[in-house]
Structure 1
Amino acid sequence: MTAPVDVRPRLLMVMPYRQFVRKAQDEGFWVGAIWDPRLESPEYLDDVRALADVFVTADFRDEALLRRTIREAAKEHRASVIYHIGREETMAAAYEVAEELRIEVNPAEAVRFLTDKHAMRDLLAERGLSPVSFEAVATRGGVPDAVRRIGRPAVVKPTALAGSRGVFLWQEETDLAVWTALVEQYDYDGPFLVEEYLRGPEYSVETLSRDGEHRIVGITEKLLGAPPLFVEAGHVHPAPLPPERRQAVEDLTTELLTACGYRFGPAHTEVIWTEAGPRIVESQARLGGDRIPRLIQLATGLDIEQAIFASLAGTPAGPAEATATAVVRFFAFPPGHVDEIRGLEKAAGLDYVDELSLKLHPGDTVTEVRDSKSRHGHVIVSGASPGEARRRCAEVLAALEVVIDGTPVRADHAGALGAAV
C-alpha cells in the first residue's frame, strides 16, 4: 500500500519554543525545528523533539555551521518557509539563508535593522525619525570617552546582548568601576552603543505585520527598576494612554517598521515618551517577552502566537479590542539565604491570579537581580479596569513573603524592583 503523501506546507523554524511548534501544526504546517542544546534544558528540548516533525541540533555560536545546518535541512526536507522568532542573535543568519533559497517571509536586511541596534539608529537618523544622540563604540575601552561626548547621564548598551543584559545608566565619572564590573560578568568587550538618556514613561508596541501592512495589536506600559540597570519590574496591558499620545506612539512604530522593510510577523518596539514626544528605544522582529503575549490574551482574547501561524497560513486574525487589563510583576528579593517562604499557596489560590511562579525554595541562596533572566519569579493578574488589576496585583505582592537571613521580606518591598504597582 502506498503511504499517503504529506501535502502540508513545510515550515522550518530556528529555535521554536514548544507552543510555536504546536500552534504552527494546528494551522496545518509540517514543522522542522533547529535548536542549540545549550539554550534550553534537555527536558524542554525532548518535548520539542517529540512535537516536531523533524528535530535538528547545531552549535549556534558557530555561524558557518548554523547556516550550513539550516541550508541542508531546508533542502533535505523541502522547506517552503524558513522562520525564526526566537532570540535575535541568530536571526540575521537564518533569514540570509532563507533569502538565498528564496523561501523567506522577510528581507534579511529588514531583520538586520531590527536586530542590530546600531543599524537601526543609523536608519532612523537617515530618515529623520525619532532623533536621538548616539555613538557606536567597537570595544570597552572607547566607552568612557563616548560617554563624555554624549554627555552624562548616558545609556550604554551592549549591542550583541539581549534581555536587558549589561544595559547601564552612566551618571557619574566614578561609574566606570561599576560598569566595568557589570560587563565583565558577561565576559563582553563590545560592540556598544552609547545614547543620550531619554526621560519619560516607557511603552512597548506589539504589532503583527502581513504583506508590509502593520497592525497594532496593543501598547504595553513598562514598569522599570531603578537605575543604573534597566531590568523590567512588570508590565500593564493595555497601557492607559490618552488618545493623542497613543496615536503618536502607533504612528512612529509603523513608520519604523516600514522604513526597515519589515514584511511579516510580530515586532516588539520599545518607545519612551519624552518632553519632545515619542522616541524609539529599540525594536525586535519577534514577540515581546516577559509574558506579554499572555497579557494580551487575558486583556483582549487574542492568542497572538496562534495569530502568527494563522496569518502565515493565509487567515489573519481580525481586530481584538481590550475588555480587561492584565498585569505581570516580577519578584526581586535581596541576596541572602532563604529560611522560609510564606503566603505562596494563599496567593496562588486567589481566583484572579492567572500565573504565579517563584524560583526560590527554603535553603536556596538568593542571587542579585541584574537582568531579566535572574529575576526570582512572577505573578500575572487581570481585572476589569486598570485600577482593579493594579489593586489585585498589590494584594498578591503583599501576601507573598520570603524570610531571608532571618528577616521577612514582602514581595512589594523587595528592593529596587519591588515598589508597589
Structure 2
Amino acid sequence: MTDPSNTGTVVVIGGRSEREFNVVRDLGYRVVLVDEQVPWHCMPWVDAHLDVDLDDWNAVADAIRAELGDTVPAAVISHTEPRLPLMAHLSGLLVAAPRGLGEAAAANCRDKWRTRTVLTEAGLPVPRFALVTTTEEAVTVAADIGYPVVVKPRDGAGAFGVRCCLSEAELRTAVVALLDSRPGSLEGFLVEEYVDGEEYAVQTVTRGTETSVLSVFRQRMTPPPVFVELGYEHPSGLTEADHDELDKLMRDTLDALGLEDWISHTQIRRGPDGFRVIEVNARRPGGRLVEMTTAVSGVDLTEAVTRQALGLPQAASGPTVPYARYASIVFDEAGTVLYDDYVPTPGPFGPIVEVEIAPGETVQPKEHANGGVYGRIVVYGETAEELDRTHRSVRDALNLQVVLTDGLVPAASDSREFKSCC
C-alpha cells in the first residue's frame, strides 16, 4: 500500500522487472527509469523514462538533473550487476543524504580481483589467485597454483567465460576463448585455484554494518570443466556449527568489502580446508532465488534493498516454509522440446514453473555452448517428503520431453554459453 507521507523520486538504472518498480511506487515515490534504450514493456510501470548512454556517467547525471529540475532524487537504485558502480556513483553525486552501496564497496564486489585482494589482506579465505593479461602469464600462474585451475573474467556474470582447466592445453584453449569473447569490461582475467567441494548460495541483508544471513542454499552444479547450475536445496544440510561459522564469515567478508545498508548474494565453496569465498555479488540473486529466499526467511530482498536505499525501516517478516527446492530445466541431449501447459496451484507457496522456450523449439545439452539452463521449477513443502511429491507431480504434469530429430540444426544466433541465473 502507498505511504502518502513519502514524496520524491527514485531513479532506477536499467530495471526490467515490474516488481522493482511497484515496490518503489507502493512506498509513495515516483519512478524515473534510465537505460540505454528503455524497453516498451517497462514504460507503463514508471512515471518517466530516459534513454541515455550508460557508459557516459556524466551524460547520465546531466539527463537526470534535466528531468528533475531543482529537485534531487530520494535514491538511485539498480538491481542490475553491471550498473551497480554507476548507481553508487550517481547516488553519491545526486542524492542529498546517500545511503546504501558506496562506490568503493561496489567496485570491491564487481571486480573479482579486488574482491580477492581485499579479502586476502583481511585474512579471509579465498582461492589462491593471480591477475594475468596473456596466455603465457596464465600458464606460469597455473603451474605455480597447480591444476586444476579456474579461468574467469574480472567482472563477468552468469558464469560467462568461466572454465575449469585440468591441463596446460585446456588452459590455453580457455584463455584464447576468453580473450576473443571478452565477456567483461575490465582489463585482464583471473587464474585461480579450483576449490573442490560443496557450493552454497548465501543471501544477506546488512543494516548499517550489521549483517544478517537470510538464506543458505545448497547449490548443485555440473562437474568441471563448465559450471551450469542444476538447482538449489533448502535446508542446506549444514550443521548448526557450520551455520555459525558461515554467519561469521559473511559478516567479516562484507565488513572488509565495505558493504553497508545493502544486500548481497554470495557463493561459498567448502573445500578440504573449510569455507572459501568464491563470489560476492552486491545484488539480489537471479532467477527465482528471490522468491525462494522470501519463502524460507519471510524477507523480500527487492523490497528490503529499496527500503535500505531510502532509509526506511524494514517491513515485518512474512510467513515462511521449512523446505524448498529449485530445479533448473536442462537437457542431456539435443533435440526438439515438447511439453504441456502447466497451471500452478495458487497461494503463497504454490509451485513456480518457468520454461523459457516454446514447444517445438530446439535445445542443446546443458554443457553445450548453446545449451545451459532453459527454465526452472521451484517447489515448497512442510516436509522433505512433501517436497519430493510436489516436485514429481509438477514434472509429471509438465510432461517435458526431447524428441530426437535427424539432421537437427539448432539455432546458434544467441550463445547461451553456460548461462546461470545467479
State if a TM-score over 0.5 links the two structures.
yes
What does residue 56 of structure 1 align with? 50
Flag the 1:310–1:365 CA change in 2: closer, same or farther, 3 A: same
What does residue 295 of structure 1 align with? 292
Letter of the aligned partner of 1:83 in structure 2? I
What does residue 92 of structure 1 align with? 85
Deviation string, structure 1 residues 9-64 (Cα, Å, up to 9, x no partner)? 32112122321110111112222211223xxxx7xx22322111221122334455
Flag the 1:377–1:237 CA change in 2: closer, same or farther, 3 A: same
Q: Which segment drifts farther, 301-310 or 314-323? A: 314-323
CA RMSD in angstroms comes to 3.1
Residue 138 (structure 2) pairs with residue 143 (structure 1): yes
Q: Distance in 1 between matches of 2:166 and 2:135?
A: 17
What does residue 77 of structure 2 align with? 83
Residue 98 (structure 2) pairs with residue 101 (structure 1): no
Match of 1:361 among 343, 353, 358: 358
Q: What does 1:7-406 align with in structure 2 at a 5 Å threshold?
A: 8-16=7-15, 17-37=17-37, 45-63=39-57, 65-66=59-60, 68-69=62-63, 73=67, 78-86=72-80, 88-103=81-96, 104-105=98-99, 106-139=101-134, 142-176=137-171, 178-180=173-175, 182-183=177-178, 186-188=181-183, 190-311=187-308, 312=310, 314-318=312-316, 322-334=320-332, 336-338=334-336, 341-342=338-339, 344-345=340-341, 348=343, 354-367=351-364, 369=366, 374-394=372-392, 396-397=394-395, 399-405=399-405
Deviation string, structure 1 residues 271-326 (Cα, Å, up to 9, x no partner)? 11222221111111110112111112233443332233344352213456843212
Q: Distance in 1 between matches of 2:18 and 2:392?
A: 32
Q: Secondary structure at the residue paired with 1:174?
A: helix
Flag the 1:6–1:241 CA change in 2: closer, same or farther, 3 A: closer
Flag the 1:182–1:403 CA change in 2: closer, same or farther, 3 A: farther
Report if the CA contact (8 A) 1:164-1:372 is conserved. no
Letter of the aligned partner of 1:284 in structure 2? N
Q: Distance in 1 between matches of 2:230 and 2:171?
A: 25
Q: Distance in 1 between matches of 2:370 and 2:106?
A: 23
Deviation string, structure 1 residues 243-269 (Cα, Å, up to 9, x no partner)? 000111111011111112211121111
Report if the CA contact (8 A) 1:224-1:232 is conserved. yes
Q: Secondary structure at the residue paired with 1:222?
A: strand
Letter of the aligned partner of 2:41 in structure 1? D
Residue ranges of structure 1 left out of the alignment (5+ in a row):
407-416
Flag the 1:271–1:95 CA change in 2: closer, same or farther, 3 A: same
Q: Which segment drifts farther, 180-189 or 269-278? A: 180-189
How much does 1:356 deviate? 1.6
Letter of the aligned partner of 2:248 in structure 1? D
What does residue 410 of structure 1 align with? none
How much does 1:214 deviate? 1.4
Deviation string, structure 1 residues 348-403 (Cα, Å, up to 9, x no partner)? 56788622222333442324546899521111111113453245335544642221
What does residue 413 of structure 1 align with? none
Deviation string, structure 1 residues 222-253 (Cα, Å, up to 9, x no partner)? 11112111121111234232100011111101
Q: Distance in 2 between matches of 1:75 and 1:195?
A: 48
Letter of the aligned partner of 1:288 in structure 2? P
Q: Secondary structure at the residue paired with 2:351?
A: strand
**TM-score between both structures, scaled by the size of structure 2:** 0.83
Q: Secondary structure at the residue paired with 2:237?
A: coil
Report if the CA contact (8 A) 1:326-1:381 is conserved. yes
**TM-score between both structures, scaled by the size of structure 1:** 0.83
Residue ranges of structure 2 left out of the alignment (5+ in a row):
407-417
Flag the 1:28–1:371 CA change in 2: closer, same or farther, 3 A: farther
Letter of the aligned partner of 1:296 in structure 2? T
Flag the 1:232–1:72 CA change in 2: closer, same or farther, 3 A: farther
% identity of equivalent residues: 23
